[in-house]
Every structure is written in C-alpha cells, then in structure tokens.
C-alpha cells in the first residue's frame, strides 16, 4: 500500500511539473552542442546591471547548466534570476517569477528533493491566483515574453515566437524591450532567408528605433540594413561607433553590426581599426577579440583585389587561434574561418587542407556536419577548383534533413548546376534532390 501511494504521489508530482510554464517544458530535448553554443552566446551578452533581459538570461543559463549536468550552477543562476527580476521590476514578487519558480520546482525534483519541489509548485499556484489572466487558456504577459525570448534564442518555432511576443506586447505595450526583441528577431530570421527586407519589417525596425532610442544594438542593426539597401550611412556609422565604444562590452552592444556596416560599405580598414581600438580598451574581453579576428578574415577573404597580403594572413592567424582557444565548446565556425584564411594564402595551402581534413574526421553532430560540408564545398570549388568533389559535399549537406541557411544554400547550388546541364554529375544531383527528406 505504501509503495502504491508513493508511486501515485510521484505520478501526480510529475504531471504537475509537466503542466508548468517554464524552460523544462518549453524547450524540446536538444543535444549538447547547441546548449554549449547558446551558453557561449549568453556569456557574451554579459550581465551588466540594467540589462532588461538579465532575469531571463539567468533563467536560461540555469536551465542550460542543469541540462549539462551542473546542478549547483543551475541553482545559483535560478536564484540570481529571481534577484535580477526583483531589481528590474522594482518588486520582490510578481508574475515574472512563475517561470523561475517552475524551473526551481523541476531542478529540485531532478535532485530528488521532492518536498522542495512541492514547495515551489505551491509558490507557482499562489502567484497564479494572485495575478490571474482573463482566461485559463491565456498566459500572463510576462510569461509570453519570456517564452518568446527563450524560443527565439533556440532558433525554433519562429511563428510561435512572433505570436507570443505580439500577445505580450498587446497586453503590456509599455514594455519597449519586448517590442525591440520581437522586431530584431523578425529581421534576423528574415535576412537569412531572403535577398532583401520586406518593407513592413524595415518599417517595424524604424519604428522600434524611435521607441527605443538608447538601444545601440537595435540602432546598429537598423543601420546595417539601411546600408544593405544602398543608403549612404558612413557618417551615422562613425557617430554610432563612438557611442558603442563608450558602452559596456556585450555582444548586444552593437559592435558586430557596426563592423558589418563598414564591411558592406567596403570600409574594411575602418572596421579593423574600430575592432582593434575596442580590444585595446578592453584587452580581456573575448567577444571583442572575436570581432577583431573577424574583421581581419573579411579583409583577406572579401577584399583582396590586388592579391593576397601574406603579412595580413600572418597577422590574422594569431588572433584566430586565440579565439578558438577562448571558445572551446563552440569553436567549429572559428576553425573554418582559420581554414579559409589559410586557403587564401599562397604559402599556407597545406595548412588549409590539414585543418579541413581534421574537421572532416572529427565526430560532429548532424547540424555541425551540415555547416562543415557546405563550407568545405565552397573551399573545394573556389580555392581548389575541384568542382566534382564540391558537388559531392553540397549533396552531403543537402541530404541532412535539418532546416538551415546552409542546407538551402547547398540545394540552390545543386539546382543551378543541374539546370545548366553541363556537369557529368547532373544525374546524381537530380537523384539527390528528388530524394531529399523534409526537415
């Protein structure tokens, strides 16, 4: 009898946990690599006081640490999230704690402390009674906003992300940061899948900038989009760059977006100087070192009309190797950047082949393989002129049923080759495209 009673109690507790609105129920099971990559991204955002998403950042970092097996770190981050929300909302309690308490209920359940888990479930119930929604089918605005922000960071369910943000904004239109994040999310998703921004999204960016004039990340992103449309934004970029340099260091400071403005405007030397100045001002910030390395890569890969400057290659290799060491858990993209730099050098071709060979032999997850195959295909065709082998790797990238920019790019390349009808691999390409699985 006691055993049956305990089993029923466990089943009841589990069903209550699964009904919660929190990270443990929002985020589908995901593998280790995306978690590590997102953890690096959150670390680079920073924890500067005044960041309106600080509570959400701590909540998400706690969830990631729990999934990675670091329960002590998870507990610390969840407690910091509650404190950050209290400071930002200027109140010790409110509906914003529903997600946080839900996360803590899950964490203590996983730790085997069922009494503490039940205590947090009771706190969730008390908050929901104190801050009811118009109907049982609706969530509080704070929950919609955090759910949207969380799913946006995982890059999934974009339609739901937009829907949740819109619901939150409609309920609390005074929360400017929610609208800003919604618009940035829309623009970020759109720019990878279309050659240009639709007018309504561009207008939303402009309106969001008026509502949130102190958000330099938004201002820099908007400037980047205007530059892509062909506008002359040089003077505005220089003025904004000065403001970004004075701001606390963060991946949301607008630094990378400003650098991209310079790149799109062919002012690559200004980009290199700006990034170097930022590193000089903050020599211990790995995100800025990453930005500086990136500008040198752009110079070598995209701006070499007069041939390769071997001294510039040597100059770029050192910071790239340092950045790889600073991002050990998400270094693949940086390693491919280094391989591309080697590939543009007349005397470092062997190093490019060696590095790409090592990456191809590494045990990678399917999503990582897809990115690598797409990049390697470009290296084969542009640097080694090995067109047939490039086709093979584009087919490998396309065959991995994960929706991404890289898969779409490889499919487009294959379709273009097939339509021209000049390759002896046209039949293979046609068979590959016909048998592609839907993601």
- In this prediction, residue 47 carries a pLDDT of 79
What lies within 8 Å, CB to CB, of 258 at 6+ separation is: 220, 223, 224, 237, 240, 241, 244, 274
CA distance 99 to 82: 10
CA distance 223 to 215: 12
- In this prediction, residue 197 carries a pLDDT of 58
Per-residue pLDDT of the chain (439 residues; tens, 9 = 90+): 444 555 566 678 999 999 999 999 999 888 888 899 999 999 999 877 668 899 999 999 999 999 999 999 999 999 999 999 999 888 889 999 999 999 999 999 999 999 999 999 999 999 999 999 988 889 999 999 999 999 999 987 889 999 999 999 999 999 999 999 999 998 887 665 454 557 788 899 999 999 999 999 999 999 988 888 889 999 999 999 999 999 889 998 999 999 999 998 878 999 999 999 999 999 999 999 999 999 999 999 988 766 788 999 999 999 999 999 999 999 999 999 999 999 999 999 999 999 999 999 999 999 999 999 999 999 999 999 999 999 999 999 999 999 889 999 999 999 999 999 999 999 999 999 999 998 7
Closest to 435 (Cα-Cα) out of 384, 392, 399: 399
What tokens were used for 115?
């009494």
- In this prediction, residue 326 carries a pLDDT of 97
Map out the domains of the chain with their CATH numbers: 2-132 (1.25.40.10), 243-350 (1.25.40), 363-439 (no CATH)
CA distance 107 to 101: 10
Q: Decide if 98 contacts 21 (C-beta within 8 A).
A: yes
b/e for 268-292, b at 16 or more Cβ within 10 A? bebbbebbbebbeeeeebbbbbbbb
The pTM score is: 0.91
- In this prediction, residue 225 carries a pLDDT of 85
Q: Decide if 24 contacts 59 (C-beta within 8 A).
A: no
The DSSP 8-state label assigned to residue 438 in this structure reads P
């Amino acid at each position: 009898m006691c055993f049956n009673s305990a089993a029923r109690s466990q089943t009841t507790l589990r069903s209550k946990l699964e009904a919660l609105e929190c990270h443990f129920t929002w985020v589908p099971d995901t593998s280790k690599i995306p978690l590590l990559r997102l953890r690096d991204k959150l670390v680079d955002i920073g924890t500067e006081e005044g960041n309106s998403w600080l509570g959400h950042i701590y909540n998400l970092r706690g969830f990631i640490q729990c999934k990675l097996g670091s329960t002590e770190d998870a507990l610390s981050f969840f407690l910091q999230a509650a404190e950050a929300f209290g400071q930002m909302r200027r109140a010790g309690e409110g509906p914003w704690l529903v997600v946080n308490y839900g996360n803590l209920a899950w964490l203590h359940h996983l730790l085997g402390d069922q009494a503490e888990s039940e205590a947090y479930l009771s706190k969730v119930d008390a908050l929901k009674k104190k801050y009811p929604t118009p109907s049982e089918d609706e969530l509080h605005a704070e929950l919609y906003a955090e759910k949207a922000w969380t799913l946006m960071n995982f890059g999934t369910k974009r339609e739901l992300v937009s829907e949740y943000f819109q619901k939150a904004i409609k309920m609390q239109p005074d929360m400017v940061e929610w609208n800003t994040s919604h618009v940035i999310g829309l623009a970020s998703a759109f720019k990878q899948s279309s050659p240009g921004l639709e007018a309504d999204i561009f207008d939303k960016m402009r309106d969001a900038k008026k509502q949130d004039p102190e958000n330099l990340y938004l201002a820099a992103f908007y400037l980047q989009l205007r530059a892509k449309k062909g506008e002359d934004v040089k003077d505005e970029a220089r003025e904004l760059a000065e403001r970004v340099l004075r701001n606390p260091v963060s991946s949301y400071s607008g630094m990378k977006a400003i650098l991209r403005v310079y790149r799109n405007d062919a002012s690559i030397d200004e980009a290199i100087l700006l990034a170097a100045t930022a590193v000089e001002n903050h020599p211990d910030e790995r995100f800025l070192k990453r930005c500086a390395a990136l500008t040198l890569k752009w110079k070598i890969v995209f701006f070499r009309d007069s041939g390769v400057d071997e001294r510039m290659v040597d100059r770029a290799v050192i910071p790239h190797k340092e950045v790889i060491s600073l991002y050990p858990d998400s270094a693949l993209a940086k390693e491919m950047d280094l391989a591309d730099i080697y590939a543009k050098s007349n005397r470092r071709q062997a190093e490019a082949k060696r590095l790409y060979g090592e990456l191809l032999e590494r045990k990678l997850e399917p999503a990582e393989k897809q990115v690598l195959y797409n990049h390697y295909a470009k290296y084969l065709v542009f640097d080694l002129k090995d067109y047939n082998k490039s086709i093979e790797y584009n087919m490998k990238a396309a065959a991995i049923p994960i929706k991404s920019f890289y898969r779409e790019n490889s499919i487009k390349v294959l379709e273009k080759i097939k339509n021209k009808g000049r390759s002896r691999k046209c039949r293979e390409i046609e068979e590959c495209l016909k048998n592609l699985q839907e993601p």
